[in-house]
Amino acid sequence: MSEENVEITRARMDSKTRITVALIGVIGLVIGAIVGPLVEKGINSSHEENKVVSLPIEQISQKIFSYAGNNNPDAGWGTFWLIYDEEQKPTYKFEYDLPEDKYGYAGLAFQFDEPQNLDAYSGVEFTITFQEESGRVDFFIKDNASNNAQMQIASKRTGEDIIRYKFSSFPNIEFSAIKEIGLNVDTNVSTGNYHLEIKDIRFVE
């Protein structure tokens, strides 16, 4: 074979090699485009699984209302406002007034339309703000059998406080059938006129 023919053969081989390499490069890009998002999704899924799962109370069908003794026969007055901030997040503002000369009570209730199975969670968390330094109120949980348990929240300052209670703090409650949660106060706890706000109520793992 002449040197000219050898050079032509080498050129053809080099051309085929470059085409093969180019094809491999393209195939690599295609595979990367397909596999890359799947790998990223898998990583993100792993991170999401590690995040704390919570159930905001707004995702549960319910009735929200204030209540009080209203002198029939017990004393007490209470009301609430639903306020949305600029991010459309709700805040529940509760005001109550209890007398000093007779028994009275007031409260704010979140009553679920159907009993809620909260066995997948281990606690409840919320943010509460007292406008008066000496504010006191009880947080309560009630199950479908009307078992009721409560924990007292006492404020020594104004401003926000994040409160978290483990379900184990309420041993007599059946958390597979929760009917109602809320705030309650009576004259054994506090008297006078008070204002508070509660928001970011959620059940957490």
Residue 131 sits at φ, ψ, to 5 deg, of: -85, -20
Sheet holding 178-186, edge to edge: 62-68, 105-116, 178-186, 136-143, 148-154
Q: What is the pTM of this model?
A: 0.73
Parts of the chain with a pLDDT under 50? 2-50
Condensed to tens digits (0 to 9), the pLDDT of residues 160-183 reads 999 999 999 999 999 999 999 999
* CATH number at 54-204: 2.60.120.430
Domain residue limits, the chain: 1-51, 54-204
Under 8 Å between Cβ of 171 and 94: no
